[in-house]
Amino acid sequence: MNAEKYAVTGEKKVDITKLPTNSREDNVDKEEIIKKYEENKLRLAELQDRFYADGREGIIVVIQALDASGKDSSIKNVFSGINPQGVKVHSYKAPTSEELAHDYLWRIHQNVPRRGEIAVFNRSHYEDLITVQVENIKPHYHMAERNIGKDDKKFFAERYDQVKNFEQYLYENSYRVVKIFLHISKDEQTEQLLERLEVPEKNWKFRSDDLKIRDKFDPYIKCFNEVINKTSTKNCPWYVLPGDQRWYTRYLITEILLDTLGKCNPQYPELPPEEKEKLDECREVLRAALGKTDSPKKKNSGKKSKK
């Protein structure tokens, strides 16, 4: 799987500033990748149908990125064609007053899917590790005195452990947490923001504050680098995917999903013996209702009958 090389499992430290943001290093053919992508989507639909019926595991796909990295379009494209009954997308914005009155994982835990379902988090609990640090938000200032007294470094070191423990807890309860970071270059981000200004249909996506966030590109990347290294584990890895070419990014996401679903090994449930015994009887009732009183024809064995 091409995406495996982009996995960060915590076994060794990585520097994401040295990881590729495009497909050049992989030396792939665009037309071939697009063809494989479409094939992967068909396989995903088939596997997800089995996964939904199986109902023994749940999957949470976390997608994080800087602004204008293509999170929305990637989710829209990759998950199109999959049974919507088994996939739910949750977008996390700035926390509401109700959410701030609870612990920061409260709103996340509410959206943990049923087993058999896939939840896609467009942003996630990682905003409480990344955005609050880069934007110098003090989430512990409205907490008890014992929390207010902590310095920022210790406070966020504890959050890294909390998140790892939370994700391990989910894994031990038959969930798989797959975390994807769409790694784009600063030039590509600038191009995408400019397109939002120059294409009228995309004007609605642009906010003047986007430029302020763009000015913090390097601090955000530095923070992502620390968070990814501190929260990557073998059971709940991060994938730092090249994001400059969306046709390649989407293909890699499908590879990750296929690999994850494959590890789940979903199977259609078997009927209990007592229900199996009733199949012939029920079949005859339904055939009679349609006026089909004759027995179903046996499939041709392939041998020619003797005359």
For 229, other C-beta atoms within 10 Å of its C-beta total 17
| Tens of pLDDT, residues 220-229 | 999 999 999 9
Q: What is the pLDDT of residue 229?
A: 98
CA 42, 46, 52, 56 dihedral sign is negative
Torsion angles phi and psi, residue 291, rounded to 5: 80, 15
Per-residue pLDDT of the chain (307 residues; tens, 9 = 90+): 578 899 999 999 999 999 999 999 999 999 999 999 999 999 999 999 999 999 999 999 999 999 999 999 999 999 998 999 999 999 999 999 999 999 999 999 999 999 999 999 999 999 999 999 999 988 766 788 787 777 889 999 999 999 999 999 999 999 999 999 999 999 999 999 999 989 989 988 888 888 888 899 999 999 999 999 999 999 999 999 999 999 999 999 999 999 999 999 999 998 888 888 899 899 999 999 998 876 555 445 444 544 4
Q: What is the pTM of this model?
A: 0.90
pLDDT of residue 129: 97
pLDDT for 143: 83
The residue with tokens 């120059």 is: 198
Contact criterion met (CB below 8 Å) for 125 and 108:
yes
Residue 295 confidence (pLDDT): 56
The Cα-based distances of 59 to 42, 114, 240, 287 in angstroms read 19, 9, 18, 40
**CATH of segment(s) 2-264:** 3.40.50.300
Tens of pLDDT, residue by residue over 168-209, are: 999 999 999 999 999 999 999 999 999 998 998 998 888 888
Domain spans in the chain, listed from the N-terminal domain onward = 2-264
Question: Distance between CA atoms of 79 and 72, rounded to whole angstroms?
Answer: 11
